[in-house]
Structure 1
Amino acid sequence: MSESTGLRARKKERTRDAIGDAAVTLFLERGFDHVSVNDVAAAAEVSKPTLFRYFPTKEDLVLHRFADHQGEAARVVRDRESGIEPVTALHQYFRAGLDRYDPVTGLSDHPEVVAFHRMVFATPSLAARLTRYQIEDEEALAEALGAGIRARLLAAQVLAVQRVLARTNWQKIADGRTAREVHPEAVSEADQAFDRLR
């Protein structure tokens, strides 16, 4: 990659991040349905066509944070060390996320993260778009696990378990508990859930 190509790529990434950050800030301040794409473009200081080059839909302006994790489960399975079962690798990865208080695990009490999840879960168009991401993740994980119905069923079960665990963690925090208070329960529930998957 030439220096100019690398510079262009970094500039595009900064533009994408600036648009996404402006969008999430506006959506959290005013609510998803009360912010237009024009509002986001103006806040990010880009044209509407530029915005749509980076984010094809209004929902993508919010869900890019989830999209950044797309295919993660499949990567964990493909990149696992020799001799480690796929479910074990996925369990270890989820546990490591809990220990980092990764927002994807639902175990983050940062006010913006809690508000962000509340907005996603409470906005039908965002929840529907998130389901599409989850189906794509399921297909990628099934492919990484191998062919056939067994791989498809296991992929669906693993991602359902992760989704339920994350939503449960988020709900406990949304109800007023801290991430540190919830952490031991979150670890125990993750261990139980992944043990059942095995």
Structure 2
Amino acid sequence: MTTPVGRRERKKAATRQALADAALNLFIKHGYDAVTLHDVSEAADVSTTTLLKHFPSKEALVFDEEADQEAGLVAAVRDRTPGTTIPQALCTHVKRVRLRAADSDVRYTQFLDLVRNTPALSDYAHRMWTRHQDALARAIAADTGAPPDDPRSAALAHFALETSALAHRAADPEQAVDIAFDLLDNGWNAPDRHSEAGHS
């Protein structure tokens, strides 16, 4: 049985959503750097003090998915279909949650453009995404029966998360993610020209 959400919790959630919506509207219309916290609180009809109770920084107003992101990454490993490797499952997940602009609505496309074109936001988004590395590494280790501090699991988690930044710098983001995860899944197998030269 689901516990009913109290009036106070509903009011807090509504205030938080109003602040996030007001911030995104203002940032898209005027540019992130031109908008102050006071502007956002005025638009949402709350005090700046109230705003800061919900969002600890200006960047945080744009992002409200941290818990969902971590849960999604862990689930991608834990709930993958039989026969799917961990890199394959993470590749599918990264493409779905980080590169979904092509089939998204106009609002989400505007959000992505804002983040990509605002260094403070793109840096914050990358930090927020990669801070899930430890949780992802633990999920990989648990799935493979390795110790929680297994360095191989940590390395896979690190490079899996970094594929997102690589993709956003690539001409073909989806192809870049596929190539990166293929490398993580199958290892480096290109011919070593220096080694061949030594044996000729």
TM-score of the two chains, using structure 2 as the length reference: 0.72
Deviation at 1:138, TM superposition (A): 1.8
Q: Match of 1:63, SS?
A: coil
RMSD: 2.8
Worse-superposed segment, 140-149 or 18-27? 140-149
Deviation at 1:43, TM superposition (A): 0.7
TM-score of the two chains, using structure 1 as the length reference: 0.73
Which residue of 1 is the match for residue 27 of structure 2?
A: 27
Taking the aligned partners of 1:139 and 1:148, their CA distance within structure 2 comes to 11
Which residue of 2 is the match for residue 138 of structure 1?
A: 133
Among 182, 188, 191, the residue aligned to 1:195: 182
Instruction: Kindly indicate whether structure 1 or structure 2 has the higher relative contact order, using CA contacts under 8 Å at least 6 residues apart.
Output: 1
Which residue of 1 is the match for residue 66 of structure 2?
A: 67
User: In percent, how many aligned pairs have the same letter?
Assistant: 33
Q: Match of 1:163, SS?
A: helix
Among 133, 152, 155, the residue aligned to 1:150: 152
Which residue of 2 is the match for residue 107 of structure 1?
A: 101
Identify if the C-alpha distance between structure 1 residues 8 and 154 changes in structure 2 by more than 3 Å, giving closer, same or farther.
same
Structure 1 residues not aligned, in runs of 5+: 173-184
Deviation at 1:187, TM superposition (A): 5.5
Taking the aligned partners of 2:7 and 2:86, their CA distance within structure 1 comes to 38
Identify if the C-alpha distance between structure 1 residues 68 and 32 changes in structure 2 by more than 3 Å, giving closer, same or farther.
farther
Q: Does 1:91 align with 2:98?
A: no
Taking the aligned partners of 1:93 and 1:127, their CA distance within structure 2 comes to 20
Identify if the C-alpha distance between structure 1 residues 189 and 10 changes in structure 2 by more than 3 Å, giving closer, same or farther.
same
Deviation at 1:60, TM superposition (A): 0.5
Deviation at 1:191, TM superposition (A): 3.7
Deviation at 1:120, TM superposition (A): 2.0
Q: Match of 1:70, SS?
A: helix
Deviation at 1:94, TM superposition (A): 4.1
Taking the aligned partners of 2:46 and 2:37, their CA distance within structure 1 comes to 11
Larger Rg: 2
The alignment of Structure 1 onto Structure 2 pairs a total of residues equal to 175
Deviation at 1:197, TM superposition (A): 1.7
Taking the aligned partners of 2:109 and 2:130, their CA distance within structure 1 comes to 24
Taking the aligned partners of 1:107 and 1:68, their CA distance within structure 2 comes to 21
Which residue of 2 is the match for residue 129 of structure 1?
A: 124
Q: Which has the higher helix share?
A: 1
